[in-house]
Structure 1
Amino acid sequence: MLSRSRPQTPRFLSLTRFKGHPMTHAPSLDAFPFHARDKLRYSDTDQQGHLNNAVFATFFETGRVEILYDPQRPVLPEGTFFVVARIAIDFLAEVRWPGEIAIGTGVAGLGRSSIRLTQALFQNGKPCAAAESVVVLMDAATRRPAEIPPEMRERLSAYLVKAEDAGD
């Protein structure tokens, strides 16, 4: 006989939270310790004239990459690389071309080999999407997770969002 019990909502499907509230009550860009910008391209739109949902992940990547691969302040130890282990995106509002996207990024947590990031996209100051991602530092030779070295931990601490701010 089939069970009629209601399935549990997986944790990764819950809304990203900021300051204990769902991201539908998102903060301004200024609430994030790191900011990046990207231009909306006409080719990013779909038949409805708004930003295609797949492009949101690209904008979140811009925010991650500018922190993790900044050539002016490199954090990546030689012989290592990052992989994205998880990304969850909540779509909050339509984004229309033309314009620009502002990306807010903060470090929500540092594990032994992982970095949890919280992010939001804004168009004209309005929150449009929120994401939580986890990247893992990998050893290029062994292809296994590598421990985050103290120098990297210190550098990334500048972008930490307090636990209560991240909703943890």
Structure 2
Amino acid sequence: MESLPKISYINDLEQWRSEFSFHIPIKIRFSETDMFGHVNNVSPFIYFEEGRIEFLKAAGVFGRDNTENGMPIVADLQCDYHKQLFFDDTLKLYVKVNHVGKTSLDIHYMAANEKDELCLTGRGRMVYINRQTGKPVSINESMKEKLINQ
């Protein structure tokens, strides 16, 4: 089993890792690298966004037809870097909902390379808000169920 430094949002790495099922492939593009040849530190946030959108679409809660109850916005986002990534590397980016509250949800991310080594871990909170007022709105039970079961 891999050894990572203590990460505040992961209690048991093996258990945490086993809870992921949804993933998308990421192929690192040349434009995502910096002058040192490795992935720029902002690129994982783009990968997280891509994974988050695909996850929400797969759960059936993303898109114009699903915003009558509010729209999701990112309230915070965190990334921990564990291995360097380079142009043309291929990753599996995993996404899961860790917790659904009254108006927000906590999403976790994990990226593994072709050797199944953890390269990135992350988490972020999304809040559902009313488009007109910008105030938080409740996540309905149907949406909660879809998010938890994805």
Name the TM-score, length of structure 1 as normaliser: 0.75
% same residue: 23
> Which residue matches 2:61?
74
Unaligned runs of 5+ in 2: 1-5
User: Whole-Å Cα distance in 2 between the matches of residues 144 and 78 of structure 1?
Assistant: 14
Taking structure 1 as reference, are residues 26 and 93 closer, same or farther at Cα in structure 2, changes over 3 Å only?
farther
Contact 1:42 1:97 in 2 (8 A): yes
Larger Rg: 1
The question of 1:43 aligning with 2:31 is answered: yes
Name the TM-score, length of structure 2 as normaliser: 0.83
> Which residue matches 1:116?
106
**Counterpart amino acid of residue 48 in structure 1:** F
1:77 Cα offset (Å):
3.2
Note the 1:13-162 alignment, pairs <5 A: 15-18=7-10, 20-21=11-12, 31-68=19-56, 70=57, 73-75=60-62, 76-78=66-68, 80-124=70-114, 125-159=116-150
Partner of 1:90, secondary structure, is strand
Unaligned runs of 5+ in 1: 1-13, 160-168
Contact 2:29 2:88 in 1 (8 A): yes
How large is the RMSD of aligned CA atoms in angstroms?
Answer: 2.3
Contact 1:79 1:141 in 2 (8 A): no
Per mean C-alpha deviation after superposition, the further-off stretch among 130-139 and 73-82 is 73-82
